[in-house]
Structure 1
Amino acid sequence: MARGHDVTTHVYDDNGGMVGRAWHQLRHQLPHKVGAGRHRGLGREATERAVAAVADVRPEAVVVVKGDTLGSDFWESIGGLPRVTWLYDEVRRTRWTIERLAGIGPIATYSTLDDVDFDAAALDTRHLPLAYDHRLVPSPTIRRTPDVSFIGARYPTREQVLTLLHDQGVPVRAYGRDWSSHPVDRLRTWRLNTPDIPAGRDLARATAYDVMAASAATLNLHGDQDGFTMRTFEAAGVGGVELLDRSDVEGLYEPGREVLTWTTPEELTDICRRALAEPEWADAIRAAARSRTLAQHTFDHRVAVLEDAWDTV
């Protein structure tokens, strides 16, 4: 909208509020958990809703985010329209194949390695990192907390990192349904146990921004990814002290001045303790990170690339 477009969004995988989410859990998630097969019908239902949305809106251009569960009827419905598909995950983690991607039009991907592969396959591709929503600003009355925060899903490698810091006396706190001991969250994630780490429930995005900005430092844990997560830009954009588990961030941020990178548990523990003990040093990191993000890594910057992509159709 900031670039002069009238925008209508359609969340094709929206399950329809609390009742819809509960039905989704019973109809699809539970059978999958107990080994009763794949999530049959999800792609068909999402495709039908997306086709109906296209018919209703009659768009002049379309940006598809990921879109790997959408069937051929959807892609036929936007045939001939300026369009671009933005992939925020490695293609190996999706239902996409090179052959399927060849028929959908221009592609933007957050993965540098996929961009190379797509180019080698003669696809219309460009590398496009994720971004920070600078319109959703942190609360002006934030009070700093003596916590090292983590906001996100619970995976074994992430749990190992947080457990290590907790055992070393670093005041960590995780947020998300996978970490929370709340009975509703335990039911939603089909589990009995909860890790021995201080934790809170899921956070709305605005609240997550506040938590990252207020924390003494905030963890951004990737694992087996070559693209950088949205959290990379959000944590920096809100003025957080971002602890990043990758050193290949050069070109996006300057390690040691705008974000803090680490490769060993000992390095991470030392950085956390310094962030807690030297707030003036941490404040310089915060300011530099936010300045770089606002100058180069907002969604406004990314939309300009998407516009150029759909102009090539």
Structure 2
Amino acid sequence: MTARTYTVLAPLGSTPARVGVPAGRRTERLFLVSPAFHGYHRSIARAWAQQGFDVTVHCYDAYATPAMKLRNKALLELPQRVGMDRTAARVAWDTQRAVAALREARPDRVLVIKGDSLGEQFWDEVRALGVPRMLWLYDDLHRHDYSLDFLRTVGPVLSYARSEADELTADGVDAHYLPNGFDPDLDVPPLERRDELVFVGSRYPNRVELLERLAAAGVPVRAYGRQWSHHPVDRLRTWELRRPALPAERDIPLNEAYAVQAAAAGAINVHGLQAGHAMRTFEVPGMGGLQLVDRADVAEFYEPGAEVLVFESPEHLVELGSRAVREPAWGERIRAAGRRRSHAEHTFAHRAAAAQDWWT
């Protein structure tokens, strides 16, 4: 199949933006429903377009216009902060917009990513279409409010974690294992090498501890994200005043995160109790970065010591991080090998191609 086009639905009432040039013959229309999280839907849409689909994207939790942002803050986020449960209101709003977008798209197939704030009305509409559909969970199952009965009837369920795919299969779900990936076509501005380790992502206690151990050992380290940033706007946005005493920057878009992690002496990837491997597992080596990851089972994808670095304790991270800063030539060999493996096996296009066998 040759590459096609995709459309990103703008807020209701405005004009969608179409990307690419339509093919001369009619191709199947794929309706991609996704969270707005870091713009991953754009990369995933490109990957499915490369499989020959005309892809229309709807981000169910994107509040793009000023009026939508104001409504979200005033009617959902602020009441939630003071103890009011606004889950039902959010589900109703997201579902209403998703149903309208689905009716407008009139697709031949439907791929839903997460869908964690879409109500039963949306799924009823999908079932009524009678078209092939899949649900892709690129996060842990426990972060979703789906019952086993629902998962058994929704269609194929793709999980980013092999263990969860196996568990779902044992429970009678048509489940398949689809790891995360990375986008080699993302426009990444080149940056000069930096003699520091970086972490890009949310702030959790285990991550704070690791970064503070590095800093205490004299290893230069920098964190990126609104939960780390010392900027007053980010303190207000997160409803927090205290921050770890670490060098930190504000949120950065995905393409800039790719560049920052590639330029650093090393990029830290901390999973904790996650069942599957995060996007970062493939992004860092994919863009030529030196990955320091806390999961030995990364060996499913990369050769530890040759294509990525695996740390087993805070002390081990300090040891590896110090060497990465001190011996850049050592890191360069690992970067190059990890990048080759990523481009050969771990792009979103590889994932999209694998998933074509599972439509029902």
TM-score w.r.t. length of structure 2: 0.83
Residue 191 (structure 1) aligns with? 240
Aligned: 1:67 with 2:115: yes
Q: Does 1:58 align with 2:106?
A: yes
- How do 1:131-142 and structure 2 match up within 5 A? 131-139=181-189, 141-142=190-191
2:173 is paired with a residue of what secondary structure? coil
TM-fit CA distance, 1:96 = 1.3
Quote the offset at 1:121 in angstroms.
Answer: 1.4
Partner of 1:92: 142
**Paired residue for 1:83?**
133
Of residues 276-285 and 29-38 in structure 1, the stretch that sits farther from structure 2 once superposed is 29-38
1:272 aligns with 2:328: no
Q: State the Cα distance separating 1:20 from its structure 2 match.
A: 3.2
- Which amino acid is 1:285 matched to? I
- 2:165 aligns with 115
Q: Secondary structure at the match of 2:56?
A: coil
What do residues 238-293 of structure 1 show as CA deviations (whole Å, max 9, x unaligned)?
11100101111111111111110011111100100110111111001111111111
Tell me what 1:28 maps to. Answer: 76
Cα distance in 2, alignment partners of residues 260 and 240 from structure 1: 11
What SS does the corresponding residue of 1:84 show, helix, strand or coil?
strand
Paired with 1:170 and 1:19, the residues of 2 have a C-alpha distance of 45
Residues 127 and 49 from structure 1, CA distance in 2 versus in 1: closer, same or farther, beyond 3 angstroms? same
State the distance in 2 between where 1:230 and 1:18 align: 30
Residues 1:287 and 2:343 are matched in the alignment: no
Aligned residue number for residue 209 of structure 2: 160
Stretch of structure 1 that moved more, 257-266 or 17-26: 17-26
Which ranges of 4 or more aligned residues in structure 1 deviate by more than 4 Å?
none
Q: Deviations over 1:32-84 (max 9, x none)?
A: 22222243311111111111111101011111001132112111212211111
Q: Which has the higher contact order (CA 8 A, sep 6+)?
A: 1
**Superposed, which structure 2 residues align to 1:112-261 within 5 Å?**
112-139=162-189, 141-261=190-310
In structure 2, the CA distance between the partners of 1:22 and 1:286, relative to structure 1 (3 Å rule), is: farther
Q: Which runs of 5+ in 2 are unaligned?
A: 1-48
Measure the CA separation in 1 of the matches of 2:70 and 2:307: 42
Aligned mate of 1:101, from 148, 151, 156: 151
> 2: distance between equivalents of 1:43 and 1:23?
14
3-state SS, counterpart of residue 266 of structure 2 = strand
Moved more, 25-34 or 56-65: 25-34
Per the normalisation by structure 1, the TM-score is: 0.96
Q: Distance in 2 between matches of 1:70 and 1:189?
A: 25
Aligned identity (percent) is 44
Q: Which runs of 5+ in 1 are unaligned?
A: none
